[in-house]
A = this chain, B = another copy of it.
């Protein structure tokens, strides 16, 4: 099956390029790489690292030199102008020029979103891309997709409908969920409870019918309960929910650790139950899911966590491969076109005065 080339920004993450190269090696060993990989960054650093892993002289992998690196704390708007020779923006250019079909980076999120949006442009019929993050559910292997997780903080009803389409296509293509159930996040299921924007979006989602599998409004207390596969919200709410969850997860681990260290008996018990803690962590740690795609653009942009280790980076490469393989962009385009016809009709009928 055709997958195309994946450009990898190897310089951006918190752990540096050697962790990225280790991730590439892991993905390669597991036979989970796309047809071709273009590793972008400083050649003098990358080549020895790849050599050490036996990854040089292979047809599927090449290095694309880029002199600069975008720091994690740099301002996205500045980097777009001043860091055109950075590994991240060079990787995006490879996608722009169709020399690669996707870019994966664990660097500065804002720069990746801004660079991806400005250089690759949104698909026809969509105004803004959305960041999709896959989150864990309560049941074993349970997962759900949260979008928008931070790209568009103030989404309009039509944009939220587009998010529903993006998330559905993504869960289908990259996570094997057929007819994903979509929920619109609100603060109560009662009429009018979440405000005018939620009400309008809810009506639109009901109107686009079979394009998505719309479950209805859901509340915050349901998100981790495996009720729906796609949770739609604006980028402000999604980002707070995502980051707030990370904050709580770390708080719980820290508190549990502190409580365990209180007595020797608790410590001994925790040692015996070690496997349970490990199991819990691996089921809940969002890094296991690898990468969050910025959906709705004319090319694939994937964001891996800044602190990704080689395992999560390998899993990110696998996600990229799936995305390329199932041509999610084509599926998104078709559904956008169909839904926009309906949305346009609703708009016009709302604008027509009652006779």
A240 contacts B187, C-beta separation under 8 Å: yes
A280 contacts B266, C-beta separation under 8 Å: no
Binding site for B on A (CB under 8 A): 75-76, 110, 136-138, 140, 150, 153-154, 185-188, 190, 193-196, 219-225, 233, 235-237, 239-252, 254-256, 258-260, 262-263, 265-277, 279-280, 283-284
B225 contacts A251, C-beta separation under 8 Å: yes
A188 to B242, alpha carbons, bound, how many Å?
A: 13
Query: Which B residues are CB-close (under 8 A) to A267?
Result: 273
Query: Which B residues are CB-close (under 8 A) to A243?
Result: 187, 219-221
Query: Which B residues are CB-close (under 8 A) to A283?
Result: 255, 259
CB distance from A327 to the nearest CB of B (A): 31
Query: Which B residues are CB-close (under 8 A) to A240?
Result: 185, 187, 220, 233, 237, 240-241
New A-B contacts (7) at CB < 8 Å, excluding given A263-B275, A265-B272: A75-B190, A138-B250, A220-B240, A255-B284, A259-B280, A266-B272, A268-B272
Query: Which B residues are CB-close (under 8 A) to A224?
Result: 244, 247-248, 250-251
**A138, A248, A249, A260: most-surrounded residue (chain B CB, <10 A):** A248
B250 contacts A279, C-beta separation under 8 Å: no
Chain A contact residues, majority secondary structure? helix
CB distance from A263 to the nearest CB of B (A): 7
B266 contacts A153, C-beta separation under 8 Å: no
Query: Which B residues are CB-close (under 8 A) to A190?
Result: 75-76, 110
CB distance from A7 to the nearest CB of B (A): 25
A252 contacts B252, C-beta separation under 8 Å: yes
**12 A-B pairs with C-beta separation under 8 A:** A150-B187, A154-B195, A220-B243, A220-B247, A225-B251, A233-B240, A240-B241, A249-B252, A259-B277, A262-B279, A269-B269, A269-B272
Known contacts A240-B185, A240-B187: does B254 contact A138 (CB below 8 Å)?
yes
Cβ contact of A221, chosen from B153, B233, B247, cutoff 8 A? B247
Instruction: Please give me the residue from chain B that is nearest to A242 by CB atom.
Output: B220
**A254, A267, A273, A283: most-surrounded residue (chain B CB, <10 A):** A273
Query: Which B residues are CB-close (under 8 A) to A246?
Result: 220-221
Query: Which B residues are CB-close (under 8 A) to A237?
Result: 236-237, 240
Instruction: Please give me the residue from chain B that is nearest to A282 by CB atom.
Output: B259
